[in-house]
Chain A
């Protein structure tokens, strides 16, 4: 008899959060209501959540790993547009203006649309606890809040010619001084294959820890693709284009032999210069083994059947 994984019976995100269900029952409706009410009127940076994020810390992901502390999630960020010093991004991005904010969705779609950020926040959203594994060898467990990208793509109706989705960060060197740095090709760009983009785990993030997304985490809209290295999860998105050719990301342009298009978390395929077999969870001493597809193999491995993951790294 074929074994039916329990993840197919229960909607996956609920299944993932089963352990924290009781806590969430008590805490999140109020927190999410606060986000929903605050979002249309308040600027994302200034909002004060009614429930302190620290009160939401004592939960785990579906593997039983505890959430990374709110202070670490919002105080340790790779966001080269502001600074390459991870612990200074929060301060450097404090005055970043995220309202008004428009997101253009165009390219090979039947209905190209420019969305105001408020329209995107109105898309049916939910909390998802995801692991984030940085290519540098550290990781976190983060309670994002947002909507699966497929809900947005359904609104613009990709044509049959669309094969890839290309994402682009705001280009504004005055606000983002890091973009004056000529070493990289700005603005930051990333891409997904259309089936990856349509996968239910691919999340457009508008909040974290029951609060609107802080600037340093990519306000007001970022991507979270939990089975890929963190750099794929592009921040402060202003454009999403459906295209027929594989997009070139900023990191692919910077070092093509080191950063591939797929960038799936894979402990067996090393970065050309270092091993990807282990990682340090921020807040822990010692190391843990990195999991295939960052622990999401059951959900996403089928996307890559027949693909040589060593060649398409």
Chain B
């Protein structure tokens, strides 16, 4: 906390914004519970809630760097870490609702599902991708891993694509909403690849 206030004002404000964005799903949920009352199927409600929140924040975390390149002030980039960590928190909530509330730690039922429900498998894969990102999110780890840190954190794109696939595969029939998520993620990934190869070309033309 002390560190938060030691930062330049602009960055402090950006971080406060990041925490507000990260808490937004909880605020929205509280408002909904207040307004609509306790859901009839709270397990389904909390599953959808935490899944939506995690996916939205993963996409938000991926969008920050391109937005900075498109002209947003550079200090905004400090929000990536907290937003990514919030996304991880919601994904933990998502997994916990499933194994605890929904399946009551019934490993037998869950394991028989894991290989027949492909959306579960890919969802678990997305979660597994997020774990090392959260573990290496500290500045100390960032220093220790050096250039590998950046490569490792490109896993976020894989996690996002897995999460979107999870969404596409779990809906009953209408895939339009999950396809919007998948398109946005692919667009962001395409943008990064485009920039990457353009830079590489430039470097090679400079070298020759």
Q: Which residue of the partner chain, among A254, A255, A280, A282, contacts B40 with CB atoms under 8 Å?
A: A282
* Complex Cα spacing A224 to B173, Å: 23
- Taking a contact as CB atoms under 8 Å apart, the answer to whether A286 and B40 are in contact is no
Given contacts A87-B40, A183-B174, contact A275 B118 (CB under 8 A): no
- Taking a contact as CB atoms under 8 Å apart, the answer to whether A274 and B117 are in contact is yes
Tell me the minimal C-beta distance from A135 to chain B in angstroms.
8
- Taking a contact as CB atoms under 8 Å apart, the answer to whether B119 and A273 are in contact is yes
- Taking a contact as CB atoms under 8 Å apart, the answer to whether B118 and A278 are in contact is no
Q: Which of A135, A184, A254, A287 counts the most B-chain CB atoms under 10 A from its CB? A: A287
Q: Which residue of B lies closest to A270 (CB)?
A: B116
- Taking a contact as CB atoms under 8 Å apart, the answer to whether B176 and A285 are in contact is no
* Complex Cα spacing A135 to B172, Å: 9
> C-beta contact mask, A64-89 vs B, less than 8 Å → 1, else 0?
00000001100110000000101100
- Taking a contact as CB atoms under 8 Å apart, the answer to whether A277 and B170 are in contact is no
> C-beta contact mask, B38-62 vs A, less than 8 Å → 1, else 0?
0111011100000000000000000
- Taking a contact as CB atoms under 8 Å apart, the answer to whether B119 and A274 are in contact is yes
Q: Which of B21-29, B105-113, B134-142 contacts A (4 or more CB under 8 A)?
A: B105-113
Q: Which of B96-104, B125-133, B193-201 contacts A (4 or more CB under 8 A)?
A: B96-104
Q: Does A251 contact B (CB under 8 A)?
A: yes
How extensive is the interface on chain B, given as a class? 20 to 34
- Taking a contact as CB atoms under 8 Å apart, the answer to whether A254 and B173 are in contact is yes
* Complex Cα spacing A278 to B172, Å: 17
Q: Does A136 contact B (CB under 8 A)?
A: yes
Q: Does A138 contact B (CB under 8 A)?
A: yes
- Taking a contact as CB atoms under 8 Å apart, the answer to whether A278 and B113 are in contact is yes
Q: Which of A245-304 contact B (CB under 8 A)?
A: 251, 254-255, 258, 270, 273-275, 277-278, 280, 282, 285-287, 289
Number of interface residues of A (CB under 8 A): 28
By a CB distance below 8 angstroms, the chain B residues around A75 are 40
- Taking a contact as CB atoms under 8 Å apart, the answer to whether A287 and B40 are in contact is no
By a CB distance below 8 angstroms, the chain B residues around A280 are 41, 43, 102
* Complex Cα spacing A84 to B48, Å: 14
| Interface SS majority for chain A | loop
- Taking a contact as CB atoms under 8 Å apart, the answer to whether A273 and B40 are in contact is no
Q: Which residue of B lies closest to A282 (CB)?
A: B41
Q: Which residue of the partner chain, among B104, B169, B176, contacts A286 with CB atoms under 8 Å?
A: B104
- Taking a contact as CB atoms under 8 Å apart, the answer to whether A286 and B172 are in contact is no
- Taking a contact as CB atoms under 8 Å apart, the answer to whether B170 and A273 are in contact is yes
- Taking a contact as CB atoms under 8 Å apart, the answer to whether A275 and B172 are in contact is no
- Taking a contact as CB atoms under 8 Å apart, the answer to whether A278 and B109 are in contact is yes
By a CB distance below 8 angstroms, the chain B residues around A138 are 41, 44
By a CB distance below 8 angstroms, the chain A residues around B172 are 135-136
- Taking a contact as CB atoms under 8 Å apart, the answer to whether A286 and B41 are in contact is no
* Complex Cα spacing A282 to B173, Å: 23
- Taking a contact as CB atoms under 8 Å apart, the answer to whether A183 and B169 are in contact is no
By a CB distance below 8 angstroms, the chain A residues around B174 are 84, 183
* Complex Cα spacing A206 to B185, Å: 48
- Taking a contact as CB atoms under 8 Å apart, the answer to whether A251 and B39 are in contact is no
By a CB distance below 8 angstroms, the chain B residues around A184 are 173
Tell me the minimal C-beta distance from B44 to chain A in angstroms.
7
Q: Which residue of B lies closest to A76 (CB)?
A: B40
- Taking a contact as CB atoms under 8 Å apart, the answer to whether B116 and A274 are in contact is yes
By a CB distance below 8 angstroms, the chain B residues around A289 are 109
Q: Which of B65-120 contact A (CB under 8 A)?
A: 101-104, 106, 109, 112-113, 116-120
- Taking a contact as CB atoms under 8 Å apart, the answer to whether B39 and A87 are in contact is yes
By a CB distance below 8 angstroms, the chain B residues around A277 are 109, 112-113, 116
By a CB distance below 8 angstroms, the chain A residues around B39 are 87
* Complex Cα spacing A140 to B73, Å: 54
* Complex Cα spacing A273 to B43, Å: 21
By a CB distance below 8 angstroms, the chain B residues around A87 are 36, 39-41, 45
- Taking a contact as CB atoms under 8 Å apart, the answer to whether A287 and B106 are in contact is yes
Q: List the 10 shortest-distance A-B pairs measured between CB atoms, nearest first.
A: A286-B104, A275-B116, A274-B117, A76-B40, A254-B173, A72-B40, A275-B113, A75-B40, A255-B173, A270-B116
A-B contact pairs, 23 of them (CB 8 A): A71-B40, A135-B172, A136-B172, A183-B173, A183-B176, A184-B173, A258-B173, A273-B119, A273-B169, A274-B113, A274-B116, A274-B170, A275-B113, A277-B112, A277-B113, A277-B116, A278-B109, A278-B113, A280-B43, A286-B103, A286-B106, A287-B106, A287-B109
Task: List 18 other contacts, CB 8 Å, given A76-B40, A285-B43, A287-B104.
Answer: A75-B40, A87-B41, A135-B172, A138-B41, A183-B174, A251-B173, A254-B173, A273-B117, A273-B119, A273-B170, A274-B113, A274-B117, A274-B120, A274-B170, A275-B113, A278-B113, A280-B102, A286-B103
